[in-house]
Structure 1
Amino acid sequence: MALGTDFPDALVAAALAGRHDAPLVLTPGDRVAAGADQALSHLRPRSMYVLGGTGGITRPTMDRLARYLR
Structure 2
Amino acid sequence: MFSQSIKGAIANGYFLTVIQTAIANGLDPRKYLEFLIDKLANLPILNHESIEAYLPWACLPQKQCKPLLSDV
TM-score (norm 2): 0.32
- Structure label with greater radius of gyration: 2
Higher strand share: 1
TM-score (norm 1): 0.32
- Relative contact order (alpha carbons < 8 A, sep ≥ 6): 1 or 2 greater? 1
